[in-house]
Structure 1
């Protein structure tokens, strides 16, 4: 996921302040995810702290919200290709949002010993969901840049 983030930053970075900020938020989310995923229980005695999990959930919710409320509509104009892309991608993004919200609802407040039994698996599942989400979001970013390049080509011709 970090490699794909670096590819996205090198492909699209510097072209839009909003996209740059959003990709930095994605990076912060991935760092928090990796930190949380790197905590390994030792004989069941060491669990991620409630603060660690809460911080991750907070960054996760900020990232999800930014996409829905700040970025997506900016990325896909109402041209024919954009409308088709919205119809194809938005329902899949909504599914990833639902998964992230479920994770947040389950773990944001506290991590009990009982919850800890499934935490690693559910965090890994969330990692797969995030990877799928990032790929969908990258399609939206790519559409915006393709449209911007086409408009610049037409304008300069």
Structure 2
């Protein structure tokens, strides 16, 4: 996922301050995710601290909010192709949002014995959802840049 992010930043960086900031937030989210999912504890059954999980969940919620409330509408025009893209991609992005919200709801307020046993599987599933989400978001960014390039050549 970090390699995909670097490729996205190289390809689209500098064209929009909003997109640059958003991709920087994605990078911070990924760094925190990798730390959370890959922390090596003394015991195989140990979990990250509650504060680590809370910090990650705060970054996750910020990232999701910026996407939904600031970036997505900016990336998709109101032409016929843009509307078709919204119909295809937005429901898929919403599915990943629901998965992230479920993770947040389950773990942001601390561990119970029940949810602690589910943490490893949940963080793995969240990683897969984030990977899917980033690919979808990159499709939106790519379309915006194609439109911008097309308008510059005409």
TM range, smaller chain: over 0.9
Partner of 1:83: 83
Unaligned runs of 5+ residues in structure 1 are none
Instruction: Return structure 1 stretches of 4+ with deviation > 4 angstroms.
Output: none
Please, which runs of 5 or more residues in structure 2 have no aligned partner?
none
Partner of 1:142: 142
Stretch of structure 1 that moved more, 77-86 or 144-153: 77-86
> CA deviation digits over 1:23-61, x for unaligned, max 9?
000000000000101124443563210000000000000
CA 1:105–1:97 in 2, change beyond 3 Å: closer, same or farther? Answer: same
Equivalent residue number for residue 18 of structure 1: 18
TM-score (norm 1): 0.94
1:97 aligns with 2:84: no
1:8 is the counterpart of 2:8: yes
> In structure 1, what is the equivalent of residue 58 of structure 2?
58
Matched residue, 1:133: 133
Q: How does 1:110-129 map to 2 (within 5 A)?
A: 110-129=110-129
Q: How many Å separate the matches in 2 of 1:27 and 1:112?
A: 29
**2-side partners of 1:58 and 1:146: how far apart?**
33
CA distance in 2, matches of 1:90, 1:58: 23
Given the two structures, how large is their TM-score scaled by the length of structure 2?
0.96
